[in-house]
Structure 1
Amino acid sequence: MKNFKTFLLKWPKFGIKEKRHHLPRHIHTLAEIEIDKIKICGVKGIILDLDNTIISEDDRYLSPYAEDWITQAKLAGLQFFILSNGKRRYRVKYWSHRLDIPALSPAKKPFPPAFRQAIAYMRFPAKHILVVGDSLHTDFMGALLSGCGFIQVATLPHPPRWWEKLAGKWVQIHYPSERELWDFDDAVGYKNF
């Protein structure tokens, strides 16, 4: 595992090399990404993860200000695409509709075909696309294999899956307990999808 962490620290910056290095590699919430800063760095499109990035996998928590941030980013001219490995397609359809963002599920991340589909939809070179997600083994590896930039957000609290109990501390950033969390109570809306 030490070699993997060393690899991450030395990970090449994709995209517009002289500017991309100004972007953070890790943040706590989606809303902490500075829209002006990513635009200055040449970002034109964003591939978003859904589970534990925007909404917790168990539908208990919503990332604070995430929807407002997405709206602001769209107004600033950024394009979006959601890639989710979630098996509950109705849930992904609900969020795609609610956020007005095209989505693909199950995306089978980190394998490149879904990333290539998102990149082709946005019609930008991969170097102008940023992947934002909570997991290094799916979101980061997919970004790396596709030539996109990457920012890792802290994973929203959720019941840990079996693999997270074993390797979660190496592939995810835990959400700080002192940070604000928003309860999500609109899961009943899923019934329409």
Structure 2
Amino acid sequence: MADPTERNRLEDSIIAWTWRKFIDNPINPYELVLMPMTKASVRAMDVVQQFATQLGIPVPETFVISGASKRGWTTWTTAAVDNVRVIGAIPIVMDMADFQKDTFWQELQLATGGTYLRRLPNADHSCAGHEISLFWTMRSFYLSIYENKPLPSLRWMKTSNNTHGYIRAIVDFSVGPRPMSAYGYHARTLNDQRFVK
């Protein structure tokens, strides 16, 4: 997958360039840099297990994985290809686009056995200013898995049309702990336009 222009590329440029290569040659998915990133994540779990075996310490059988941005995308793909060892995934700032006819939201509910999705209001891509909130959310999710404690049973339905949308959340108090609080956020936009500086 050598670049004939030998141009230096970092992060997003590498992702974009490999996607362009894949679009030009869709027969070869290995053009996508996300594939070796996913493979490296799976191999990292292999190495942790091998190293633990060599040291004679308990070998982890399952993993909770996380990553931000491009690594958030890799979190999704790693969980998809190794759903036996990956029992929890926390992709950060990579929630996949929600196009009109995209099935992401339905697939999220099927994949998670629920609808656990945390949004950070008014956060930019770096999550600056939200690190503590993000940490505590990740910690709660991880500990619920580690301690085998159920999260509150929450499901929601998202509906939209050409002019508006709404989300209806339902908490089942008969399963899992009762939530101590709930917050709702909303935003208004102008005719589906997004203003970017």
TM-score range relative to shorter protein:
0.3 to 0.5
Structure that is richer in helix per residue:
1
TM-score normalised over the length of structure 2: 0.32
Using CA pairs under 8 Å that are at least 6 residues apart, name the structure with larger relative contact order, 1 or 2.
1
Structure 1 length normalisation: TM-score?
0.32
